[in-house]
Structure 1
Amino acid sequence: MNSSEPSATDTISEFPSDSHELDEGLDHVGHFVGVRFDVVSLERVFSYSVPKELIGKIGLGTPVRAPLNNRSARGWVVEYPHRPTVAIDKVLELYFLDNYALSTELYELCRFGAWRYGSNLVHFLKHARSAAASTPYSLQGDGEGMGRANLTNPTTKRSSRQGLDAGIEASEGDAFEAGSLEARQGSDLQKKAAPGSTYIRISPCESVEDTIFELCIRAISMQKRVLVLFGNEFEMQRSNLRLGQMGLSTYVLERGDTKKARSQRVDASCIISSRIGVFAPIGNLGAIVVVDPADSGHKNSSEPTWESAVIAQRRGELERCDLISISGYPSPEYSHQTRIVTKGNDSKCWPKVAEVDLNENGGVLVNSDLVHWINRIRESVVGRDKAPVLLIHNRKGKINRFKCTKCKKTVLCEACSTPLIMGEPYSEEGKNTPNFLHHYEFRTEKAKSDFEKLFPRGLICPKCRLPTPVACGLCKSTRIVAVSFGTTRIADELESILSIKVPLLDEKNFSSIEVESAEVVVGTVGALTRLERVSGVGFVDFDQFFATPSFHSTNRIFGHWYRAARLLFQSGFEPNGESQSRILIQSRDLGSDLLNSIITRSPKSLLELDRNQRKELDLPPYCALATFYGDGASLFSLSTFDLINTDPRFSNVEMISLGEDRYVIKALDHDLLSGLIETLSPYRNEVHLHVDPREI
């Protein structure tokens, strides 16, 4: 079995299937197709004959309707021509042709996705059909009559290089050297990237929209289109609005009324979409731009866990178009393209950072240092355009975790072992919330009063939603203390100290009058992409970003820091003109190398730290990882172990147990990993498989 990557010239018959090899002397094979249905459990290919009226209209990847067990079922043509696997007189006939046909390149893209992420081809064909259903017919042509930007004499830099990224150069004071990421033999880093592949690292002072606009102007001069992929919906809508204000003709691919979307006439040179747009049948494509490829929104949350940046790179190879990644916080997985340039000067674009040692404040989050910093920021904006101080805390609610001071353990639900949280009103409207005080004995009335004030509604399990007495499930002690606060508790304490209204940010009030007129607001990291203006950003408990063990933690922290700096610059607070530290970090480990890089405003050292840690621990991009779990994990692990020990091709592959039927497969590169998973395909449906996991 061939484990190498499928190329655009490969035919489907080169990969394992249930059909037989084609007979050169069989004249009628052109009238039969192999169909795989939209049922994941049906891995086999079914044989069908092609009606005369559909001959010439069928191709690989064509969605069809066909009879299956006395009903109509939707499927895709995956083999054509095809030799029937049953007697010819028993082959049924297709009776309906779907209108969403795929091009050869997009079909090969789906095959690559299925191979790369160890998944069923049907999953990716469904994604491609969904993207095609939302793409107007006018965008699928050669681009004749494309919309132009409403600009007078737009200047376009051209060079001897033919790609759209030819005129992009590193700015003066560039802090990153091109190709500085060291490659490892046998790694994906050594593989040839897409034609004209470029990674643009923009500083907080630079605008993403300006870079996209520049690329689109070049595309217009070359009669090409640009596909821009965003991982964050709010950034996508905001960029679309700004590009329109700059005079660029844009179109946003959205799921909805597909008939209306496909029939309307669209003349746009810039097509904007979420990750699903990587499968959109855009004609005359000159470049694919991926904004912030490390953003979690670029990764499909359900299986298969594909990433738009990886699929976009393969599409660039198939359609010979440029791949351009734009980000302020490059991750080693995505910054290995042929050109790495920086726009903006790092020494002038990163704001000063104030630090607060939580150890000196007894671990109290709302402390005097935090309040003093907030008041300084409030005073500094007097006479200027009003903007709130944003406090970031990535836990919602009043109190999120409790600890027993007797046994030093987290208080868990006795039924499901989930950490308990502060109880919310769960009784029917108009009835009193049950009181749990009769469970305990108190030495004094003051102790009883303090206990009732701290736990007015008892504790509740967020999973079972069952109220629980305030006691440790292990030692039954009532000596319970809160060890982590949520955003509600922080807002309540700040309102009491500052004597002002401190609104909480949620999905409904990001643009409300209450938030716009507030001096201080509290929210999670999502607020960094939702708010338009702030006067300061404070990370109330920076250590919580290390709580989840993941080798992506450093890159995520860099992303939060970058978004905070960019938001401040967009709000009109330029770093060079400010003596005030407008970013605050509270931590119990200010001496760490990571936080030292942020406090000293050194993004280069932060990226070097991330790269060196991955290299030392042999983590991506220096290897390829996949995790699997589920009811069939034991059988899958045994099959994997046998294959590693018997097949010399996979002798360098490792399998590591994480406990509780969870395993990690580690290979030198994705060629080896995908070949292993492909060999184990008979057991694939019994487990949940995640290639390139982000939480490990």
Structure 2
Amino acid sequence: MRYKYGMLFDAPRPIVARVCIDSPLPHLDRLFDYRIPAELTPAPVPGCRVRVPFSGRRMSGFVVEIGPASDEYAGPLRSLAAVVSAEPVLSENVARLARAVADRYAGNLSDVLRLAVPPRQARVEKDPPPEPAGPIVDPPPAEWRRYRHGESFLEALRDRRMPRVVWDSLPGEDWPTRLAEAAAATAASGKGALLIVPDQRDLDRLDAQLSYVLGPDRHVSLSAALGPAKRYRAFLRVRRGLVPVVAGTRAAMFAPVENLGLVGIWDDGDESHSDPHAPYPHAREVLLTRAELESTAVIVAGHSRTPQAQLLVESGWARPLTADRDVVRSWAPRVVPVGDDSDLAADPDSTTARLPSVAWRTARAALRADAPVLVQSPRRGYLPALSCQDCRRRAGCSRCGGPLARSSRSAAPVCQWCGQPEEDFRCPECGGRRLRAVVVGAARTAEELGRAFAPTVVRTSGGSEILDEIPAGPSIVVATPGAEPRVPGGYGAVLLLDAWALLSRADLRAEEETFRRWSAAVALARPARDGGTVVVVADGGLATVQALVRWDPAWFAARELDQRSQLRFPPAVRMAAVSGSPAAVAEFVDECALPSSVEPLGPVPIDEHSERLLLRVSRRDGAALSAGLHAAVSARAIRKDAAPVRVRVDPRELL
């Protein structure tokens, strides 16, 4: 308001740059107005990087918008200090998405923008831009006819509609090519596509198929493995609208694809999709939020189906994209469970044998047919856990008490905590000096199989040495989950060992994760009509095994979702974890303005100094829970005497 000639009138608000300051402090999680000096060169534009004066020092930030000053601050405005780069790296859609993601996870906008926009490489910005990719006029024919409504899904993408599907991939399916075909159909309509995969191995496969289906220079791959300069160069190609399709790991989930028409994620149950940096967003949730904000098509795909994806189907938000049962039977291998009472009666030694007789015969038959054999072993290493031979007490280090393990048959036991060898082990309980294996790792499994099936070639894949593909022919591959190499034509036999190591974990997701890992291995086997057989060393009555035998991920996901709904666990509800010292957690909860439906679970101790409290609310109150948590964190950040607490919405161990 201003006075002129004694009269009160509305003065026009000055045009300012509204800046998000790069600060982790939650009470600074808002936009600040800065005056734009007329002499500032280059001139700021929305999305560019700037330096601003704040609290006696210069800080970095992004110009989110340029417009009239807000009513939040009535004092004199300070001026922008410098425009770091006139390149508008932050698009309007990504800024809006980042704000929504920050609100959902009770985080700061600046933390999300740090994930969304890679660090600047000044030299790369000065490079002459390449020519834009040519249009995709006539994409190659796609092979989606094996799935009900598969061809209709592609047709909807070509017509610029918004189909939202949960795709259950068949065993042996060339899923990178199918996703590339969906991206091609989207790009042919003049829209962009964004596809996210768990790791670099999957990205390499998808990248190769996108190049084949789309043609050269019509897509880019974004991942942290590219290195700073290459990643920033690829990012700028996307931001400048030079390519219509982006593939990447979770680092690409905020890629500024122009005129986005399709978002897709492969294997959304993989823990790699959960970002380890604050505010810990999950790629699936980011893409679903993006689909709502930008009105895009969605494909959530995998060999297995998560309860979160099942919730999308049951709520009507997405439709299932599956194959008929006769098609499933023609593509799936034969699955043989070994572990129920009848199996034990027929083969009493199978309870102690590393390889039951059925698995032995199956592997032998595959090798005789010149087909490779895949053995999935859940644990890495040689003997990752040891105990006293006499009293069965866990073998611990005499220095720090850490667990002992062996890296080979002749190696001395080594502590897994301090790394010191235990040359002269003596059990503190009984005085025994002999050690026995509690858990057998992949390396020991490979050694035993090499002796049993000599002279067959035995390969290992896992840890830092992961095989991507092996040649066809008789061989044995021992791999940890997620490290199974592909083979032309598929494996003749797949052996799933040590089911107890996966199913007995103290984890809400133990059965879901077991099925996900098993189905990924089973998908590499040949169809039953070509002799493909899978032996799973587990009781055939288990729901996980039954879903594998029938290859029915939808049934298993519906069962998991129903159980969690009854127990009121995610995704049926929303949850947040608050951890810190007991006094800090109690004080924090008292200060929070939480929804009336909130239900505390715990607290439970984490260690001798800290504890964790879970807060559970209905899904409709999820936004209110996040807002209350963020407000309380912001209020505590201003107080110097407040003990620290850590807040995480949708903690990974409960997803």
User: TM-score scaled by structure 1?
Assistant: 0.74
Q: What displacement does 1:129 show?
A: 1.5
Report 1 or 2 for greater relative contact order, CA contacts < 8 Å, sequence distance ≥ 6: 1
Alignment: residue pair count: 593
- Aligned mate of 2:352, from 346, 358, 363: 363
The answer on whether the counterparts of 2:461 and 2:467 sit within 8 Å (CA) in structure 1 is yes
- Aligned mate of 1:404, from 362, 368, 388: 388
Matches within 5 A, 1:441-520: 456-468=410-422, 469-474=424-429, 476-478=431-433, 480-500=435-455, 501-506=457-462, 507-508=464-465, 510=467, 519-520=475-476
- Provide closer, same or farther for how the CA distance between residues 474 and 150 of structure 1 changes in structure 2, counting only shifts above 3 A: farther
- Aligned mate of 2:363, from 374, 383, 386: 374
- Comparing 50-59 with 288-297, greater Cα deviation is found at 50-59
- Provide closer, same or farther for how the CA distance between residues 152 and 60 of structure 1 changes in structure 2, counting only shifts above 3 A: closer
Q: What displacement does 1:399 show?
A: 0.8
Residues 156-184 of structure 1 show CA distances to partners (whole Å, capped at 9, x for unaligned) of: 99xxx9x9947479xxxxxxxxxxxxxxx
1:543 and 2:500 correspond:
yes
Partner of 1:621: 571
- Aligned mate of 1:298, from 273, 284, 295: 273
1:679 and 2:635 correspond:
no
Partner of 2:3: none
**Cα distance between partner residues in 2 of 1:228 and 1:293:** 12
Matches within 5 A, 1:66-77: 66-67=52-53, 72-77=58-63
Uncovered stretches (5+) of structure 2, i.e. residues with no partner: 1-7, 638-642
Partner of 2:533: 582
Partner of 1:199: 166
**Cα distance between partner residues in 2 of 1:166 and 1:154:** 8
Q: What displacement does 1:471 show?
A: 3.0
The answer on whether the counterparts of 1:278 and 1:311 sit within 8 Å (CA) in structure 2 is yes
- Comparing 632-641 with 610-619, greater Cα deviation is found at 632-641
Q: What displacement does 1:310 show?
A: 0.9
Q: What displacement does 1:376 show?
A: 1.3
SS in structure 1 opposite 2:291? Answer: helix
Residues 3-60 of structure 1 show CA distances to partners (whole Å, capped at 9, x for unaligned) of: xxxxxxxxxxxxxxxxxxxx99565643464542345578366664322255995466
- Provide closer, same or farther for how the CA distance between residues 198 and 504 of structure 1 changes in structure 2, counting only shifts above 3 A: closer
- Provide closer, same or farther for how the CA distance between residues 149 and 155 of structure 1 changes in structure 2, counting only shifts above 3 A: farther
The answer on whether the counterparts of 1:200 and 1:343 sit within 8 Å (CA) in structure 2 is no
Partner of 1:422: 406
Q: What displacement does 1:111 show?
A: 0.8
1:51 and 2:50 correspond:
no
Partner of 1:637: 585
CA RMSD of the aligned region, Å?
4.0
The answer on whether the counterparts of 1:298 and 1:307 sit within 8 Å (CA) in structure 2 is yes
Q: What displacement does 1:107 show?
A: 0.8
The answer on whether the counterparts of 2:184 and 2:214 sit within 8 Å (CA) in structure 1 is no
Letter in 2 for 1:510: L
**Cα distance between partner residues in 1 of 2:134 and 2:144:** 17
**Identity rate, percent:** 20
Partner of 2:330: 348
- Provide closer, same or farther for how the CA distance between residues 73 and 399 of structure 1 changes in structure 2, counting only shifts above 3 A: same
- Provide closer, same or farther for how the CA distance between residues 247 and 282 of structure 1 changes in structure 2, counting only shifts above 3 A: closer
Letter in 1 for 2:534: I
The answer on whether the counterparts of 1:34 and 1:48 sit within 8 Å (CA) in structure 2 is yes
The answer on whether the counterparts of 1:232 and 1:295 sit within 8 Å (CA) in structure 2 is no
The answer on whether the counterparts of 2:373 and 2:494 sit within 8 Å (CA) in structure 1 is yes
- Provide closer, same or farther for how the CA distance between residues 59 and 673 of structure 1 changes in structure 2, counting only shifts above 3 A: farther
The answer on whether the counterparts of 1:63 and 1:77 sit within 8 Å (CA) in structure 2 is yes
Letter in 2 for 1:463: W
- Provide closer, same or farther for how the CA distance between residues 306 and 154 of structure 1 changes in structure 2, counting only shifts above 3 A: closer
Partner of 1:384: none
The answer on whether the counterparts of 1:61 and 1:76 sit within 8 Å (CA) in structure 2 is yes
- Provide closer, same or farther for how the CA distance between residues 512 and 84 of structure 1 changes in structure 2, counting only shifts above 3 A: closer
- Provide closer, same or farther for how the CA distance between residues 52 and 633 of structure 1 changes in structure 2, counting only shifts above 3 A: farther
1:257 and 2:229 correspond:
yes
SS in structure 2 opposite 1:399? Answer: coil
Partner of 2:201: 234
Residues 568-597 of structure 1 show CA distances to partners (whole Å, capped at 9, x for unaligned) of: 2xxxx332x14x45211123x443232233
The answer on whether the counterparts of 2:595 and 2:625 sit within 8 Å (CA) in structure 1 is no
**Cα distance between partner residues in 2 of 1:154 and 1:538:** 33
Q: What displacement does 1:470 show?
A: 2.2
- Provide closer, same or farther for how the CA distance between residues 209 and 44 of structure 1 changes in structure 2, counting only shifts above 3 A: closer
- Provide closer, same or farther for how the CA distance between residues 32 and 639 of structure 1 changes in structure 2, counting only shifts above 3 A: same
Residues 653-694 of structure 1 show CA distances to partners (whole Å, capped at 9, x for unaligned) of: 323223221232222122243133223223479334332233
- Comparing 325-334 with 24-33, greater Cα deviation is found at 24-33
- Provide closer, same or farther for how the CA distance between residues 517 and 320 of structure 1 changes in structure 2, counting only shifts above 3 A: same
Partner of 1:188: none
Letter in 2 for 1:339: R
- Provide closer, same or farther for how the CA distance between residues 309 and 131 of structure 1 changes in structure 2, counting only shifts above 3 A: farther
**Cα distance between partner residues in 1 of 2:319 and 2:9:** 47
Partner of 2:516: 559
Partner of 2:604: 658
SS in structure 2 opposite 1:478? Answer: coil
Residues 329-373 of structure 1 show CA distances to partners (whole Å, capped at 9, x for unaligned) of: 111212313322214533333211123338742333245443332
Partner of 1:36: 21
Partner of 2:640: none
Q: What displacement does 1:110 show?
A: 0.7
Partner of 1:6: none
SS in structure 2 opposite 1:680? Answer: helix
Letter in 2 for 1:481: R
Q: What displacement does 1:289 show?
A: 1.8
Partner of 2:558: 608
The answer on whether the counterparts of 1:32 and 1:84 sit within 8 Å (CA) in structure 2 is no
**Cα distance between partner residues in 2 of 1:154 and 1:611:** 33
Q: What displacement does 1:214 show?
A: 4.0
Q: What displacement does 1:260 show?
A: 4.5
- Aligned mate of 2:647, from 673, 683, 689: 689
- Provide closer, same or farther for how the CA distance between residues 546 and 365 of structure 1 changes in structure 2, counting only shifts above 3 A: same
The answer on whether the counterparts of 1:198 and 1:325 sit within 8 Å (CA) in structure 2 is yes
Letter in 2 for 1:94: A
Q: What displacement does 1:317 show?
A: 1.9
Residues 596-637 of structure 1 show CA distances to partners (whole Å, capped at 9, x for unaligned) of: 3323544444233322322222221211122243xx343442
- Provide closer, same or farther for how the CA distance between residues 269 and 36 of structure 1 changes in structure 2, counting only shifts above 3 A: closer
The answer on whether the counterparts of 2:515 and 2:544 sit within 8 Å (CA) in structure 1 is no
Letter in 2 for 1:314: T
SS in structure 2 opposite 1:102? Answer: coil
**Cα distance between partner residues in 2 of 1:658 and 1:78:** 41
- Provide closer, same or farther for how the CA distance between residues 493 and 266 of structure 1 changes in structure 2, counting only shifts above 3 A: same
**Cα distance between partner residues in 2 of 1:528 and 1:94:** 53
Partner of 2:178: 211
SS in structure 1 opposite 2:653? Answer: coil
**Cα distance between partner residues in 1 of 2:112 and 2:245:** 24
- Provide closer, same or farther for how the CA distance between residues 131 and 525 of structure 1 changes in structure 2, counting only shifts above 3 A: farther
Residues 472-522 of structure 1 show CA distances to partners (whole Å, capped at 9, x for unaligned) of: 355544354211111111111122222224222244462588x77761121
The answer on whether the counterparts of 1:165 and 1:324 sit within 8 Å (CA) in structure 2 is no
